[in-house]
Homo-oligomer: A and B are copies of this chain.
Amino acid sequence: MSERVVIDQLQSLPDGPVSVSGWVETVRDQKKVQFVILRDETGAVQLVNPATRPVADSPDPQDADALALTDTISALATGTFLTVTGELKHDERVKLGGVEVKIGALEIAGAALAETPIAADSGLDKRMDWRFLDLRQRRNNLIFRVATTLEHAMRTWWIERDYIEIHSPKLMSSPSESNAELFSLEYFGDQTAYLAQSPQHYKQMAQAAGFGKIFEIGDVYRADPSFTSRHATEFTSIDAEISWIDSHEDVATMQEELLAAAISAVKAKHGAEIEELFGVEVIVPSLPFPRIPLAEARDIVAARGHVTQRTDGDLEPEGERQVSAHVKETFDHDFVFVTDYPFEIRPFYHMKDAATGLTKSYDLLYKGVEITTGAQREHRIEVLEAQAVEKGLALGGLEHYLDFFRYGVPPHGGFGMGQARLLMLLLGESSIREVTFLFRGPTRLAP
């Protein structure tokens, strides 16, 4: 590769020849001098060129190269990718990093059309149409560097603790969660395949397989017609499942330690830049996170004057916000585990507590939004079958799943967490669309 220097390294180099590559963010084409702001994945730098304009009755022949360079810069469209070799100069008067590069030669690598279809302040839908341009914004680039750090910190935490990473199939012969919100496709003529709504079946299978502790980060699919800021038809799910637990509490403990480690890594690497570009302070959560049983959470919501519209006893989005507000005011904490959900509003595979009849499960709320459901799973086949029947499910459709429990399985549990929700809340964004590389929704399949 050419001896390209990435832009955030320029400040540490001495004055002298350099080569930088990036795209044109702005051009200031003044009569006597031309400035180009060039951005790459690490930062931006000012390029400068003393303009050589054609003089009608020049007494001496003009420098053809200098004329051509000036013309080229005048004609540069925003977004054009180019490489400049030139002279780096430190100059504290230059606001952008205290350095500039005097252009020696300029090579256009990929010219842009003159008219850019979006601006930084275009509406979200328009920006999604042109996501590849939208992602050139510095704050959008940061989102994906933060996501990379967040995930890598989680994987590292797990792997240091001997977890196995799995890639479970997303093509299945039967639904993984429910018969609703399910994508199906024709599979080699006479078969029907379903797209996995979660890795639930298979992360439990890994427990029957004796894997002990596993995680998976992968895409799952929901044919969910909703258009809220928290839903997508394809999203990255962060899942873990562990054996030999006593209750969902062991899962919650794992998850809170994991999150504290991951958020701590984000703060260390990107905290200052997040504060600058998102106006958000990254707060590493203290351990343990607060826990509130659902019944108590409902009382808190009511005491705060919110009248629920739901009749099933679950929290609605406003209820979740109220619980989180209470926790923030009372414990100064951004996270809260809401625990002990009744079986009626939980999947059939959540284990019931023998004493209370409530499930050994939790939802994790972060800044007012649910990001996770976790639970101990029912691993006793007779009980599991009875719970499926209680939910009105046909055991035939669950045949392969139920088989996992017939040849020995340890007590186990786990959680699933939406990557985009976590990221959205961490950065104080208003929609998962902003933090998803390419969002997919009912009316959004492209680009």
Q: Smallest Cβ distance from A78 to chain B, in angstroms?
A: 8
Find chain B residues with CB under 8 A from A122 CB: none
Q: Does the CB pair A113–B234 fall under 8 Å?
A: no
Could you tell me the distance between the alpha carbons of A148 and B162 in the complex, rounded to whole angstroms? Answer: 10
Confirm or deny: A1 has a beta carbon within 8 angstroms of a beta carbon on chain B.
yes
Q: Does the CB pair A193–B445 fall under 8 Å?
A: yes
Q: Does the CB pair B223–A1 fall under 8 Å?
A: no
Q: Does the CB pair A446–B23 fall under 8 Å?
A: no
Of B110, B185, B438, the residue contacting A202 (CB under 8 A) is B438
Confirm or deny: A70 has a beta carbon within 8 angstroms of a beta carbon on chain B.
no
Confirm or deny: A330 has a beta carbon within 8 angstroms of a beta carbon on chain B.
no
Q: Which residue of B lies closest to A439 (CB)?
A: B169
Which residues of chain A in 163-212 are interfacial with respect to chain B, using CB atoms and an 8 Å cutoff?
163-174, 183-185, 187-188, 191, 193, 195, 201-202, 205-206, 208-212
Q: Which residue of B lies closest to A223 (CB)?
A: B188
Q: Smallest Cβ distance from A375 to chain B, in angstroms?
A: 16
Confirm or deny: A447 has a beta carbon within 8 angstroms of a beta carbon on chain B.
yes
Of B24, B42, B165, B411, the residue contacting A148 (CB under 8 A) is B165
Given contacts A159-B148, A213-B41, A437-B167, contact A245 B407 (CB under 8 A): no
Could you tell me the distance between the alpha carbons of A225 and B245 in the complex, rounded to whole angstroms? Answer: 42
Find chain B residues with CB under 8 A from A83 CB: 244
Question: Please, how many residues of chain A have a CB less than 8 angstroms from a CB on the other chain?
Answer: 107
The interface-forming segment of A52-60, A139-147, A291-299, A300-308 is A139-147
Find chain B residues with CB under 8 A from A219 CB: 167, 169-170, 218-219
Which residues of chain A in 81-103 are interfacial with respect to chain B, using CB atoms and an 8 Å cutoff?
81, 83
Could you tell me the distance between the alpha carbons of A438 and B163 in the complex, rounded to whole angstroms? Answer: 18
Could you tell me the distance between the alpha carbons of A108 and B6 in the complex, rounded to whole angstroms? Answer: 60
Q: Mark A369-390, 1 if CB is under 8 A from B, else 0.
A: 0000000000110000000000
Could you tell me the distance between the alpha carbons of A302 and B267 in the complex, rounded to whole angstroms? Answer: 59
Q: Which residue of B lies closest to A195 (CB)?
A: B185
Q: Does the CB pair B236–A167 fall under 8 Å?
A: yes
Confirm or deny: A421 has a beta carbon within 8 angstroms of a beta carbon on chain B.
no
Q: Mark A1-27, 1 if CB is under 8 A from B, else 0.
A: 110101000000000000001111000
Could you tell me the distance between the alpha carbons of A270 and B218 in the complex, rounded to whole angstroms? Answer: 25
Q: Which residue of B lies closest to A233 (CB)?
A: B171
Q: Does the CB pair B447–A403 fall under 8 Å?
A: yes
Confirm or deny: A321 has a beta carbon within 8 angstroms of a beta carbon on chain B.
no
Given contacts A23-B408, A135-B209, A409-B81, contact A173 B445 (CB under 8 A): yes
Could you tell me the distance between the alpha carbons of A216 and B105 in the complex, rounded to whole angstroms? Answer: 35
For this complex, 19 residue pairs linking A to B, each with C-beta atoms less than 8 Å apart, are: A1-B246, A22-B210, A39-B210, A41-B164, A81-B410, A113-B406, A132-B407, A133-B208, A135-B210, A136-B209, A136-B210, A141-B210, A145-B164, A149-B159, A168-B438, A171-B234, A174-B446, A188-B443, A205-B447
Q: List 3 A-B pairs, minimum CB-CB distance, nearest first.
A: A41-B212, A112-B408, A135-B209
Other A-B pairs, 13, CB within 8 Å; known A2-B246, A23-B410, A148-B165: A2-B244, A21-B244, A39-B210, A41-B213, A113-B406, A116-B407, A133-B407, A135-B211, A166-B437, A191-B445, A201-B447, A218-B218, A219-B219
